[in-house]
Amino acid sequence: MAAVDIKKGLAGVVVDYTAVSKVNPDTNSLLYRGYPVQELAAKCSFEEVAYLLWNGELPNEAQLAEFTARERAGRALDPVVKQVIDALPTTAHPMDVCRTAASVLGARHELAEDSSPEANMKKAIDLWAAMPAVVAYDQRRRHGQEPVEPREELDYSANFLWMTFGEDPVDEVVEAFNVSMILYAEHSFNASTFTARVVTSTLSDLHSAVTAAIGALKGPLHGGANEAVMHTFDEIGIRSEESLEEAASRAKTWMEDALAQKKKVMGFGHRVYKHGDSRVPTMKAALDKMIAHYGRPELLGLYNGLEQAMDEAKAIKPNLDYPAGPTYHLMGFDTQTFTPLFVASRITGWTAHIMEQVASNSLIRPLSEYNGPEERHVP
Ligand code: COA
């Protein structure tokens, strides 16, 4: 039997073209539709980036006004979605809540069975607009709080924070949140996006593809890593009275022990980037601002200690989830809510890929090499 070259994990396999984003591991760069992500994070709102991902170009003023009006009109918590969420235990993982809500929104969508380009664009915008209410309400109900009505005068990020915490958000915090939404929005053929494309390739509908993608994102090797980073910080112990140096030293010891035990430490490493994640410097700058804003230097100590020890031992660099986790923690999000925040952002990238897949579809159906028992017969 000829040896078969198995591409385990599809590592290094190029399966299709995409014009949505370009990841270049050699230069640690990431382009959305040609624009460097750090420029978008510095100069654009998340709404502009969503428009770019879906339409291929940044919006002009009139296009942006029409687009944001559509998003603002779709923010209210769907009453049926609320009923379904209420039927779920408050112990349910927020990613399960998100996944269920995406599915319910699909089943209730007026264009449920229509996968034309116009219908898919409408579904994408509707789902993107609706998800913050789901994520915010789920966090609130776990604290025994009622949902908060959206505010039309606020932009996407400010409204998301408002609906979660019911307080006027501070500009600096809104800015850091906006940056995180932009950085999480798109990353070519990662596991959840590929999942969305596989589902779409069967000519299934957009909500089914997004629901499956949410399932893929939940895992700690993918989106669940931002949550797992915070568990690491908690395991080491966050001590508010501690100096930066003391926290860094404890974190280094923790990392050395973890690596001696051959543990995988979440928030480090990447399938594509081997010399550092292009998004980390921008997110780390946002984290630094939040650490200064909330006056929490001990968190920077833990951050630095883990990063240094990992670099010295294995030269493995942090990925986006590493600075994003503590940033969301400082903002007041529950640790379990971190990955749903990633969902709210990545809906834009997933649906851009879904639309691209529909436009140039071929059923995604790889082969496998059988290594089970030889043919045998029932006695
Ligand atoms: N902690 C400790 N060791 C790590 C590591 C981590 N986070 N990431 C990679 N490594 C080590 C592996 O143990 C392996 O070492 P070995 O060759 O001695 O066995 C080597 O680096 C290669 O790792 P591997 O898991 O084969 O690379 P991959 O490309 O398949 O994995 C990830 C990429 C992201 C799955 C992996 O780095 C990981 O599990 N990271 C933690 C989860 C995470 O943060 N995910 C979010 C990604 S954005």
Please give the distance, rounded to the nearest whole angstrom, from the Cα atom of residue 269 to the centre of ligand 1.
Answer: 5
Q: DSSP string spanning 180-230? A: HHHHHS--SS-HHHHHHHHHHHTT--HHHHHHHHHHHHHSTTTTTHHHHHH
Q: Is the pLDDT of residue 264 over 60?
A: yes
**Long-range CB pairs of 74-77, under 8 A, 24+ apart, other chains included:** 74/125, 74/126, 74/129, 74/130, 75/129, 75/130, 75/132, 75/133, 75/150, 75/152, 75/159, 75/163, 76/133, 76/149, 76/150, 77/130, 77/133, 77/134, 77/137, 77/147
What is the average pLDDT across 91-119?
97
What is the tens place of the pLDDT at every residue in 2-12? Answer: 689 999 999 99
- Predicted pLDDT at 28: 85
- Does the beta carbon of 316 lie inside 6 Å of ligand 1? yes
CA-nearest residue for atom 4, ligand 1, is: 264
- Predicted pLDDT at 3: 84
- Does the beta carbon of 227 lie inside 6 Å of ligand 1? no
- Predicted pLDDT at 2: 62
Please give the distance, rounded to the nearest whole angstrom, from the Cα atom of residue 252 to the centre of ligand 1.
Answer: 19
N- to C-terminal Cα separation, the chain? 28
Percentage of the residues of the chain whose pLDDT score is greater than 90: 96
- Does the beta carbon of 41 lie inside 6 Å of ligand 1? no
Cβ–Cβ under 8 Å, residues 163 and 139: no
Q: Is the pLDDT of residue 172 over 70?
A: yes
Query: Where does the pLDDT of residue 1 fall: very low under 50, low under 70, confident under 90, or very high at 90 and above?
Result: low
User: CA 16, CA 102: separation in Å to the nearest integer?
Assistant: 27
Q: Six-digit token pair at 372?
A: 């089970």
Please give the distance, rounded to the nearest whole angstrom, from the Cα atom of residue 266 to the centre of ligand 1.
Answer: 8
- Does the beta carbon of 142 lie inside 6 Å of ligand 1? no
- Does the beta carbon of 221 lie inside 6 Å of ligand 1? yes
User: CA 79, CA 102: separation in Å to the nearest integer?
Assistant: 14
Query: Which residues are CB-contacts of 367 (< 8 A; sequence separation ≥ 6)?
Result: none
Q: Six-digit token pair at 259?
A: 């690596």
User: CA 366, CA 78: separation in Å to the nearest integer?
Assistant: 39
- Predicted pLDDT at 161: 98
- Does the beta carbon of 265 lie inside 6 Å of ligand 1? yes
CA-nearest residue for atom 28, ligand 1, is: 271
- Does the beta carbon of 271 lie inside 6 Å of ligand 1? yes
Q: Six-digit token pair at 89?
A: 């235990």
Q: DSSP string spanning 63-113? A: HHHHHHHHHHHT-SPPHHHHHHHHHS-TTS-HHHHHHHHHHHHHHH-TTTT
Please give the distance, rounded to the nearest whole angstrom, from the Cα atom of residue 16 to the centre of ligand 1.
Answer: 25
- Predicted pLDDT at 27: 85
User: CA 49, CA 184: separation in Å to the nearest integer?
Assistant: 11
Sign of CA dihedral 26, 284, 95, 109: negative
- Predicted pLDDT at 157: 98
What does the mean pLDDT of the chain come to?
96
> Residue 30: in which H helix or E strand, if any?
strand 29-32
Local structure of 239: helix, strand or coil: coil
- Predicted pLDDT at 62: 98
CA-nearest residue for atom 39, ligand 1, is: 221
- Does the beta carbon of 161 lie inside 6 Å of ligand 1? no
Please give the distance, rounded to the nearest whole angstrom, from the Cα atom of residue 176 to the centre of ligand 1.
Answer: 27
What is the average pLDDT across 122-133?
98
What is the average pLDDT across 172-196?
98
CA-nearest residue for atom 9, ligand 1, is: 269
Q: Six-digit token pair at 4?
A: 């078969």
Q: Six-digit token pair at 177?
A: 């949140």
For the annotated catalytic residues, the residue numbers are 222, 270, 321
* Ligand 1 pocket mutation, candidates 268, 277, 317, 338, criterion most atoms within 8 A of CB: 268
> Residue 36: in which H helix or E strand, if any?
strand 35-36
- Does the beta carbon of 266 lie inside 6 Å of ligand 1? yes
Please give the distance, rounded to the nearest whole angstrom, from the Cα atom of residue 271 to the centre of ligand 1.
Answer: 7
DSSP bridge partners of 32: 21, 35
